[in-house]
Amino acid sequence: MNSFATSPGTRDILPPDAARWRAFQEAFAEVASRYGCSYMIPPMFEDLGVFLRLGEATDVVTKEMYDFEDKGGRRVALRPEQTASVCRAFVQHRPTTPWKVWYAGPNFRYEKPQQGRYRQFDQVGVEVLGVTDPHADVEVIALAWDFYRALGLRQVHLALNTLGNADERARWTEALAKYFRDHEEQLTVDSRATLAKNPLRVLDSKRPDDAPVIQGAPRIEDYLGVESAQHFAVVRQSLTELGIPFTVEARLVRGLDYYCHTTFEFVSTSLSAAHTAIGGGGRYDGLVEQLGGPATPGVGFALGLDRTLLACDAESVFPSPRETVRVFVVDTTGGGEALRVAAELRAADISTDRAFEQRSMKAQMKAADRSGAEIALIIGSDELASDSIVMRLMSSGEQTTVKRANLIEIVQRTLAVTDVK
């Protein structure tokens, strides 16, 4: 018989890692609600057109989309990210603004799988729609910053840039295209290919051979109008006021086409070069309109869960929560008493596990040990006959016999004491 394994770029998230994922999302939920953001759940697939708006010249759209025709002949795609879906939802439902939402869940990109880069990867993110105020940019950056702190990460660097408004960005891109074409013979083959599709993204190249040409490329600051320069100045001042350190990086353009004004990226300095970007975002004032809605500004970010957890590993922070039960029931009389005792304990909100299949006392005690429970409740024929149960404290091995009728109360009391320790 054939057996199957996960597809390339996908993984099973097994215990105890899965508990860590859940704790990650819960930590994010807590910080996001502290900032007044509400949870939303966009669908995992949408009309392909929603994602085409991300920009015809981006890898995410041209090479990496999981798109297919469904049985009804619709062209759909698994979401490669969620900002476009949030904007599509905004256009469809027209909530009052500012609309501040957060989301969490998997995205799909047909990338070359490697450490820190998967075909199914999780993100948590925030989008704020309907606000042009640069303080909104600062809020979303501060939210991400607080979240990294909440995880315990310290080696996170914030890189910041502005792309100006649509016109300024277009004029700068034109100047970049001309400059890179004039110096094309000094660019690597890969960057020449990028130049043909999206001159802005040549700036993204991390290849050392491209560095000298990129160094001399036109800079956005020379193309910014007064308003855009002012917007960026407020962002920088406010971040400084909040004590959030950053560096302005003129080369930071980010992958997707819809960004304008503020763009930012969080880089983990504890990770190796291939996957140091653990999150990023920016302003995307044109996206809602492109999706058929009224002109609506937006700003947001998404953080890669998989990669952020790699950063947590590198800094030895945010370990998997312990997933253990507090009580384990051992029953050598057939299991009927274990059934009743476990039910009573669970009804009293005490996490409980038990052994099955009438295994030997030794095997059941071994299972109790493995479970990590603080208390084992042991039922043999003597106990069953005398309406009692042996309570064993797993840490000390101390055993007492307790009356069946008082069991729940005594277990509760004992656990309350171990709780404080």
Please report, as ranges, the residues that interact with ligand AMP according to CB under 6 A.
Answer: 81, 109, 111, 117-118, 121, 123, 255, 277-280, 302, 304, 306-307
Q: At closest approach, how far in Å is the CB of 119 from ligand AMP?
A: 7
Q: At closest approach, how far in Å is the CB of 79 from ligand AMP?
A: 11
Q: Which residue has the tokens 């859940």?
A: 22
Q: At closest approach, how far in Å is the CB of 337 from ligand AMP?
A: 49
Closest residue to ligand AMP using C-beta atoms: 304
Residue of 370, 365, 328, 369 lying closest to 345 (CA atoms): 328
Q: At closest approach, how far in Å is the CB of 307 from ligand AMP?
A: 4
278: CB partners within 8 A, 6+ apart: 156, 266, 267, 268, 271, 303, 304, 307, 308, 311
Q: Is 110 exposed, middle or buried (0-12, 13-18, 19+ CB in 10 A)?
A: middle
Among residues 63 and 370, whose Cβ is nearest to ligand AMP?
63
**What one-character DSSP code corresponds to residue 114?**
B
Q: At closest approach, how far in Å is the CB of 359 from ligand AMP?
A: 43
Q: At closest approach, how far in Å is the CB of 204 from ligand AMP?
A: 11
Which residues on adjacent β-strands are paired with residue 391?
Answer: 377, 400
154: CB partners within 8 A, 6+ apart: 315
Among residues 97 and 120, whose Cβ is nearest to ligand AMP?
120
DSSP result, 260-274:
EEEEEEEEETTS-GG
Cβ(391)–Cβ(411) under 8 Å? yes
Among residues 20 and 307, whose Cβ is nearest to ligand AMP?
307
Cα gap 61→68, rounded to integer Å: 13
Cβ(82)–Cβ(93) under 8 Å? no
Residue 91 phi, psi (nearest 5): -65, -40
Among residues 111 and 221, whose Cβ is nearest to ligand AMP?
111
Among residues 110 and 179, whose Cβ is nearest to ligand AMP?
110
Total length of the chain: 421
Among residues 122 and 139, whose Cβ is nearest to ligand AMP?
122
Among residues 108 and 328, whose Cβ is nearest to ligand AMP?
108
Q: At closest approach, how far in Å is the CB of 277 from ligand AMP?
A: 4
Among residues 116 and 134, whose Cβ is nearest to ligand AMP?
116
Distances (CA, A) of 295 to 96, 183, 233, 288: 14, 38, 24, 7
Among residues 84 and 213, whose Cβ is nearest to ligand AMP?
84
Q: At closest approach, how far in Å is the CB of 343 from ligand AMP?
A: 43
Q: First and final CA of the chain: distance in angstroms?
A: 52
Q: At closest approach, how far in Å is the CB of 284 from ligand AMP?
A: 11
